[in-house]
Structure 1
Amino acid sequence: MYIATCASRDRMMRRALTALAGAGKAGKLRRAVRRYLASSSARTHAFARAFRRKHGPLSKLPDKDLIAIPLIAASTSAWRYSGGNPVAIPRPKRDGTSYRYIVQANVFQFAEELLAAAAVNAVSTPYATQFMSPRTGGRPKFEQWLGENMPTAARVVTIDIPRCFATIRHSSVADALPLPGKVMNEVFFKPRARTKYLKPALIGPLENKAHHAQASSSICGIAEGSALSSVAAELVLANVLRDVAAVGDAVRVASHGDNLIVLLADATSEGLVRQVLNASICLHFEANPDELAGRISSGPASQPFYFCGRWHRWSEGKLRIKIDPARKDEFVLRTHIAIEEARALNVAAARNKRVQRLRRSVLGWLHQYEGSADLLVEILDLWPLIPAEISTDKATEGDMK
């Protein structure tokens, strides 16, 4: 199949980009990135991935539609805005009073984001102790790092960057992403400027973001949910980690998402670390120094500390981890509500999509908190309650309308 051949060629091109990046040949690398973004194989693979994510497996498509994918992909380009308005969906935050807006682009925009993100991932390397993405090992690697470094720590300093995606500076993103400026503008910044934000109540017409979102200024903010957003935030945060690590050899720093942790072998260096941490975050994010100072937590390494939804404690030569009970209860309650909402849907496509999302959410929590017996019991109770998908061969009356 031609699409499979394009996927194979795409992987070969990305390996070649990675090799060039490792060789340190900046000029050749810039030219190679431009060629990659223009490649018909890379564009076809990106569009096929976007279509699969938005509309399901390609194996279910008739041949005439499969043939159309390479033709449509040829019209997409990372060098020009494909048009249309992405939609930002409000998701409640844990505080119960504010919202996080997750942007959903159309299939053409998403394909362009995936293409640009593939190029960035091929030529960039996150900081050694960033553990959010799969390529850096995720939470298991973070916990391994923490267990290795806690024995020599005297103090633990933690902070989560407030509104990370909304406050990240465009200048820092432009410096961090190894993409041509026009590509960043067309794929990343221009769609964000045209995003339409749903009301938090999830009712009524689409509204302008100025009325129903914490709108970012023209100099900061990226769309959370974009294929490029996570890698952009990761590379910008790497600069903060480097700044803090440069304080001295007695400082160990790591991150998981927008949460940063610093282990200090010398407790007297805490004041300097706080200053550097605050200054570096303010350099790359539109942040209030006073607010940041209030979000920094610190304490003796011998005491339990909270980080990324878990309580950590070094005791008797072992790292002990426990899920925050409030976080678990919130997940269970939210899942029960989502199950009831899925049961109320009669249209096959909408219900099946919601059911699939529910299963991914539950399995994601099980994977994220692997080893928690309490959570396993909760998930075993939740799983049978998830409704079955509606067969597309037996479309309901709602589907036919």
Structure 2
Amino acid sequence: MQIENDDQMAGMDSPKSVSIVSTPAFKIWIGLIIFAVVEVILIFLLEPLLRINFPPLNPDTGPEDYYWKLNVRDALTMVITWTFYAAHQFSVWIVIVWAHKNYHGKKLDEKKLLMYTGMMTIILISFTLLHLLQTQLWYDGLAQDVPILTSQGSVIIMLSILLVMQNPKRGLFFGKKENKLMRPEVSATFMKSHQLIFSWALVYTFWFHPMDSSPALLSGFFFMGLLFIQMVLAYTRMHLNKWWVLVVESYVAVHATIVAIAQWVDFGSNPPMWAMFLLGFLAMVIFTYIHGLGLPNWLRWSIVIVYFVFMVFVYVPQPFGFGRDFAYFLRLEFLWIPMILFLIAFIAAAIAHVYVLIRNRISSSN
């Protein structure tokens, strides 16, 4: 997920003067990737202690219910959880505001470890370990007090705003740019303020869930790890590496599919929604995300063809295909995710558009 624009990199050493592999940011990136993997392994290994120390959870009752919370709310537990969340959230916000004040318009030497990078790394590791301990001692995340829609919605808002931000670079659909509502001035407005918004979405979602060992949660915390790493890497070239950005953005397709399959297998969700998430987010990757990579047209069209061949396989009856009920295809389930993301993106752009018009009118009158 690209957090800064290229203009912020103008004050850094030329990419040709310093190999990205030799920079402190690259070493931090490697170290935090390893940390994210170790985090998931620890969650998995500590799961038996949760089954010993806490009573069985209530059965899942549907998509609006959240399974991973204790049956009885404990007031002290929730005070502790909300306090930890607030400490994490404000720590991140303080560092972000500090960086904006101290780095804006200044030359940054990427051969040295930025203080922002160091502080964010310490915050990431410290609060990850704290959350792991909190789960083992008290279990409940913020989900005990707030509905699942708040967590899901925060991530959807983040992904939608990202579409607006990246429109000037890669367009919305197959490289085509929307130049009215999402003109560069609107995208720049989100570029300046998105760190505070995105960090809220990430930290809030991080503390919404307990660190329990289900496929959905393990995948989710690894995804959170990637997103936090991207936040740590702001103001560095690693943050803008197009292949790394693609991996971070595209992993949502993997995570959402794992969650949907787990809901189907573990809780018998009906209808099984894995195809909606897999095909929907893959569509975002293929028709939007990869168009910032500069791929040749023949390769882009080849990827599109592979996508449609896979879609045909999903809906073709067995034994020639997977055999998913064709009624789901007729409902256009593969378009639901893109439609939701684009709709919210246009709403966000419209709000920012009005803000820009008002701001420009006030500026001109002065």
Same fold (TM over 0.5): no
More strand by share: 1
More helix by share: 2
Higher relative contact order (CA 8 A, sep 6+): 2
Q: TM-score, normalised by structure 2?
A: 0.29
